[in-house]
Structure 1
Amino acid sequence: MNSGNTQDTSDIEKKLRGYLYGTACADALGRPVEHLTLEQIKQKYGDKGILELSPESPWTDDTQLMLVLARGLFRGAELELPKLMDKIAKELVLWLDEPDLGAGATTKNAALSLKEGIHWSNSGLNSKTCGSLMRVGILGFVFRNDPEKLIKAASISGRITHTHPAADAASVAGAYAVKLALDWVKPRKMFEPLLEITQGISPEFTQALENSYKTAYSDIGDEEGLKKLGQGWYADETFALAYFCILRYPNDFKKAVQTAVNITGDSDSVASVAGGILGARLGIEAIPISWIEALKENEKIEEIVEPLLEKYLQLSGIN
């Protein structure tokens, strides 16, 4: 390996850690307030809302399922998509034995169908909740240099659990946004590529994406802007809210995530999507060390860094 490749490897590892810890820290910050209204959050944490992670902060099913997908990828990302989906489906079945961290009914029921022997192509439910979006960002890392496979994998792996067109489009956008972030594309420059790759999948998602962009560049305040875009329980809204936060704070990981969690709605999911994209773009250095140290199970992230990095280098032809 020449020095240039060594430097490239060092940079991509920082961005991988940025994505992983960005997702997990944001998820953990949103966990305590997920089912609170913004008014209740302010009553509990003060006028600025929740701003810091407490020691030993656990993440939710958002990060847990991202790690499930990651394990499927480092066991078979080089395979053709049907074989890769077999690996991912197997990991989803194994996930049923893990602690329940709050996964939605759609993902649970789809995993139970897989366990009963239903093929992954028929296991998904017609739900537009955000369970597929929140886990797919890792595909944007592994398949960064193969956009065609990335888009197909995001769609097919998402539909293992969520088949609604809005969830499908959000899954594609969520994974592709991480690829764009790794390519150092500014959030405002992500709009056209995201619009293009999701074109025709879901009018609901297209409208949500356009509203997110327009609202972020209007004079409206953060709170009112987020309220206008929804609560994030549905995948199109989840992505729109997350995108709004990174458009408003493209170079400030902490502020973007703090903005994302202080909403009436799916705080942890919105934040984890925003945190993963921005963490991938800005790298591990952008994430507060105090947040990383406050995570309860850092070792679970650390143990997948090397396998994922090796898989990325293998697929990218770097040895």
Structure 2
Amino acid sequence: MNSGNMQDTLDLEKKLRGYLFGTACADALGRPVEHLTLKQIKEKYGEKGILELPPNSSWTDDTQLMLVLARGLLHGAEFELPELMKHIAGELVLWLKEPDLGAGATTKGAALSLKDGIHWSESGLNSKTCGSLMRVGILGFIFSNDPDKLIEAASLSGRITHNHPTADAASVAGAYAVKLALDGIAPEDMFLPLLRVTEGISDEFTEALKHSYELAHSNLSDEEALQKLGQGWYADETFALAYFCILRYPDNYKKAVQTGVNITGDSDSVGSVAGGILGARLGIEAVPVSWVESLKEKEIIEEMVEPLIEKYLEVSENKHQVSEDGFGA
């Protein structure tokens, strides 16, 4: 491997670590306050809310399910999408044996259907909660050099559990935002590409995305604007809240995540979506070292880094080979 390739791989690894740990740390920061109102958060942690990750902090089902999806990708990202979905569905069934870290009824119900032999294309429930969005960012990494496959994989893998159009659009946006982040695109410049790749899927999602962008450029305070975007239990709101935070703080991982978790609503999901996107863009250096050190099971994430880099390189090489041979786009 020449020095240029080595440097590229090193930069890629920093961004992957940024995504993985950026997701997990934000998720863990939001975990203690997920079911509290903003008033209760302030009463417990002070006027600025929860700001730091205490030692031995655990993540929630958000990171757990992102890792489930990552394992599915390690088994089959190089295959055609129907085969890949079989691997992801299999990992969701295995996930049922893992500790319950707060998984939603939709994801759990779909996984139980898969366990009972329902085909992955029929297992999804008509729910617009954020369970599919919160796990899809890793697709944006693995398929960052194949945007068409990325978009289709985000949609199909999301619909294994959530087949509502709003959840579908959010899944596509969540994965594509990570791809844009890896490409060095600023949150401000993500707006039009995100509108384009989600066009026609869900009017509800489109309106939420536009509202997020408008409010981020308004004179409203973070607190006032976030309240207007909802509480994040539904996928359109989750993405809109997360996008608002990275628009306001595009170069400050810590501040964006702190803003995202200190809300009345799904603190850990909003935080983890924002944290994953910004972590991918800014790299692991942007994630506080003290937060990474405070993660209870950080070695689980650490063990995923090298296999995911190898899978990314394999998938990218396959894409390059197909293009050279003149097959496909």
Compute the TM-score of the two structures, normalised by the length of structure 1: 0.99
- Name the amino acid aligned to 1:303: E
Determine the structure 2 residue equivalent to 1:76. 76
Q: 1:232 is matched with which residue?
A: 232
Partner residue of 2:44? 44
Match of 1:193 in 2: 193
State the match for 1:261 in structure 2: 261
- Unpaired runs of 5+ residues, structure 1, are none
Aligned pairs for 1:1-319 within 5 A: 1-317=1-317
Aligned residues: 319
> Alpha-carbon deviation of 1:2?
1.1
Deviations 1:194-225 (A, max 9, x none): 00000000000000000000000000000000
**Aligned amino acid, residue 23 of structure 1:** T
The structure 1 segments of at least 4 consecutive aligned residues displaced by more than 2 Å after TM superposition are none
Which residue is equivalent to 2:323? none
Match of 1:159, as an amino acid? R
* % identical aligned pairs: 79
In structure 1, C-alpha distance between the alignment counterparts of 2:25 and 2:302, rounded to whole Å? 14
Q: Give the CA deviation at 1:317.
A: 2.0
SS of equivalent residue, structure 1 residue 120: coil
- Superposed CA deviations along residues 17-37 of structure 1, whole A, max 9, x for unmatched, are 000000000000000000000
SS at match of 2:194: helix
Alpha-carbon distance in structure 2 between the residues aligned to 1:219 and 1:311: 44
Q: Which deviates the most, 60-69 or 298-307?
A: 298-307
- Please give the alpha-carbon distance, in whole angstroms, between the structure 2 residues aligned to 1:279 and 1:199: 26
Rounded to whole Å, the distance in 1 between the matches of 2:117 and 2:126 is 19
Q: Let me know the Cα RMSD of the aligned residues.
A: 0.9
TM-score (norm 2): 0.96
Cα displacement (A) at 1:84: 0.2
Q: In structure 2, what residue type is equivalent to 1:111?
A: A
Please give the alpha-carbon distance, in whole angstroms, between the structure 1 residues aligned to 2:255 and 2:104.
Answer: 28
Quote the Cα distance in structure 2 between the aligned partners of 1:80 and 1:106.
26
Deviations along 1:289-314, one digit per CA (max 9) or x if unpaired, are 00000000001101111110000111
